[in-house]
Amino acid sequence: RVAYVNGQYVPHSHAAVHVEDRGYQFSDGVYEVCEVWRGQIVDMTAHLDRLDRSLSELQIASPMSRAALVQVMKEVISLNRVKNGLIYMQVSRGVAPRDHYFPPAGTLPSVVMTAKSVPAGKMDKVAEQGVGVITVEENRWDRVDIKTVGLLPNVLAKQKAKEAGAREAWFVDKNGLITEGGSTNAWIILKNGTLVTRPATHGILKGITRAGVLKLAEMKGFSVEERGFSLEEAKSAQEAFLTSASGLVMPVVKINETILGDGRPGPIVQDLRKSFHEASELIKLE
């Protein structure tokens, strides 16, 4: 495997950043994960737009032109022979002697990128069974709309889920409403077929897959309510699911100890999963 690190393509096993990289010392950086599907980058423009927004919210300089970034994406995919898989890219505020204040103007942001293959059908197998979620108290900062590498609460929540035999943890805010998962957006489907997901304010990451499902739902004529929902409402929902670039539309069949419906992925979520890419921008790799 090969990774991109600050202008160079290096063996993945040797790919490293400096010990005084601010991403490493302060989580002072942002990232994106994009899906590669059948040799195409899914929703690339939306991911790069969100990267620009995350950088600008943190006043980190744009590390390179978009055309150059796209070139690196294509190179990393091709060098790793990825047909189906994921691209990871991270931009930090750069390397400077440790000091909380921003480093001197002219400090170059660090950029790293990797790509890995995920066997086609691997996530489909998970989706066939559906997954469980647990709920945890929302304990993240109030700007989780910025996709920063500061993911410690997410790491702890997801580990707790894993230890409980679940796949995801849903954060519950102080009003008793679910915000999102540790690495996914959260959705429920009511008995009348309406899709419900929390509005994209500062309290959740505005998922690209979430936007894709909103578009798909509109194409299919499903009604959607963008509003908060409680654990109680979720437990009595007909279906539920998670969205993310790595898992796409992932059916939820269990919330804490409550089994949803008959404990199997329902028809609406299966339909959304099957037709997800119909609503995506697909950029071919030459």
Query: Quick one: which segment of 13-21, 88-96, 243-251, 270-278 binds ligand PLP (CB under 6 A)?
Result: 243-251
Alpha helices in 27-86 (DSSP H): 44-57, 66-79
Q: Which of 112, 163, 124, 109 is nearest to 2 (CA)?
A: 112
Beta bridge partners of 259: 254
Tell me which H or E stretch contains 9: strand 8-11
146 binds ligand PLP (CB under 6 A): no
Catalytic residue among 74, 125, 147, 220: 147
- CA-derived radius of gyration, the chain: 19
The site string for ligand PLP over 21-60 (x = CB under 6 A, - otherwise) reads ------------x---------------------------
Closer CB to ligand PLP, residue 96 or residue 208?
A: 208
Burial profile 235-269: b = 16 or more Cβ within 10 angstroms, e = fewer: bebbbbbbbbbbbbbbbbbbbeeeebeeeebbebb
> Is residue 270 involved in binding ligand PLP (CB under 6 A)?
no
Interface with ligand PLP (CB under 6 A), residue from 90, 110, 148, 243: 243
Residues across the chain = 286
Q: Does residue number 207 form part of the binding site for ligand PLP (CB under 6 A)?
A: yes
Virtual CA dihedral for 283, 58, 144, 140, nearest 10 degrees?
Answer: 140
Candidate list 114, 209, 270, 280; residue touching ligand PLP; CB under 6 A: 209
Rounded to whole angstroms, the Cα distance separating 211 from 24 reads: 30
Q: Between 17 and 44, whose beta carbon lies closer to ligand PLP?
A: 44
Which member of 60, 157, 208, 279 binds ligand PLP (CB under 6 A)? 208
Q: Which range in 94-102, 176-184, 216-224, 232-240 contacts ligand PLP by CB under 6 A?
A: 176-184
Of 93, 167, 210, 254, the one binding ligand PLP (CB under 6 A) is 210
* Residues touching ligand PLP, count (CB under 6 A): 14
Minimum distance from residue 248 beta carbon to ligand PLP (Å): 9
Pairwise CA distance, residues 170 & 250, whole Å: 14
Which of 99/218 has CB closer to ligand PLP?
218
Catalytic residue flag (residue 147) = yes
Distance between CA 197 and CA 202 in Å, rounded?
Answer: 14
The catalytic residue positions are 147
